[in-house]
Amino acid sequence: MLGNPVQRACPTLLRSAVLPLSLLVALTIFIQSVFAAESDFIGRWNLTLLETDGYTSAWLQIQPTASKDKSGQLVWIFGGAEPLEDVSISEDTLTFSHLFMGKRLHFTARYASNALSGTATDHSSTIRWNGVRAPDLRAPTALRPGTPVALFTGHTLSGWTLRNGSSPSCWHAEAGILFNDRSCADLKSNIDFWNFHLHLEFRLDDKGGSGVYLRGRYEVQIDHDGNMPPTPRSTGAIFGHIGPTLAAGKNPGEWQTLDVTLIGREVTVRLNDHVVIAHEQIPGPTGAALDSDEARPGPIMLQGDHGRVSFRNIVITPLLHQIP
């Protein structure tokens, strides 16, 4: 018995309907795996420049917005965080532009496997770079002070090298003071640190500036701004990221005190006995950082290429995990 013709046709009709549906699902999964969602680009990214001499670190943030227009900011090689222009995300590609040292740079980045790979191009050159997501760096709940370490003995440059690893010929130690005799290069400690309290005294010896890099990545700004209104580039600022709440700097030629506590990303800065930053979160590396690997300990670095500066009484106290 052949049965009802309509019943006999139903399995074929169902198969013909199911097959395109399964292809549609497979195609959707394939497209999603190939093309990144806009949300994949949102967040903070630590960048490493490839095949370049000198500075190799940068920092990028893409911010979520309610509109289709995207926004963000960039620390490119050196300088402070600056807003992006012409931000666009299409499929797996991010594009934006940035004005750097009078040149318009055009950036293109692709997203894959939770990382970025990109280029920065002007009319004459191209720089390749990679980006990884910035770590959370959550602060531990219980810390205890370790043994204070005198990073400068007052008599020699033992324990210090230039950022490129060479001997610090332009820096000198004399009568308990560490100083450079001209604008030259940055000086870094040979010991790396994670969570700590840092105390030092500094004096600007001309109209230039300097800075103290925490873990070699976050610059506490030193400038000849005196009591001028504070900005994210004032003395005591986390340069380009966090401005001091008040002007507490002194004039060049005067000794000043700086106390900084860094726990994870959380920073507190006391300048000349005034708390100018209290328990703020540092978004990412500042300009001219040693590297962008925020998950690793790093040295204390003294900026020496912006003018003549002196330091003394440099003491760091590691903050260690409290053992129950």
DSSP 57-120: EEEEEEE--SSS--EEEEEESSS--EE-EEEEEETTEEEEEEEETTEEEEEEEEEETTEEEEEE
Q: Is there a domain that residue 275 lies in? A: yes
Cα 238 from Cα 221, distance rounded (Å):
6
What is the value of pTM for the model shown? Answer: 0.87
Q: What is the pLDDT of residues 157-173, one digit of tens each?
A: 999 999 988 778 899 99
Span 66-95, mean pLDDT?
90
How high is the mean pLDDT of the chain?
88
**Cβ-contact 277, 235 below 8 angstroms:** no
Domain span at 103:
38-133
Residue 303, token pair as written in the block: 């900026």
pLDDT of 262 higher than 90: yes
pLDDT of 50 higher than 70: yes
Last residue of a domain, one of 107, 133, 159: 133
Q: What is the pLDDT of residues 228-248, one digit of tens each?
A: 899 999 999 999 999 999 999
CATH code of the domain containing 244: 2.60.120.560
CATH code of the domain containing 69: 2.40.128.20
Domain check: are 293 and 203 in the same one?
yes
Q: Is there a domain that residue 6 lies in? A: no
Domain check: are 290 and 180 in the same one?
yes
What total of structural domains would you count in the chain?
A: 2
Q: What is the pLDDT of residues 106-143, one digit of tens each?
A: 999 999 999 999 999 998 899 999 999 999 998 888 89
Q: Is there a domain that residue 299 lies in? A: yes
Q: Is there a domain that residue 16 lies in? A: no
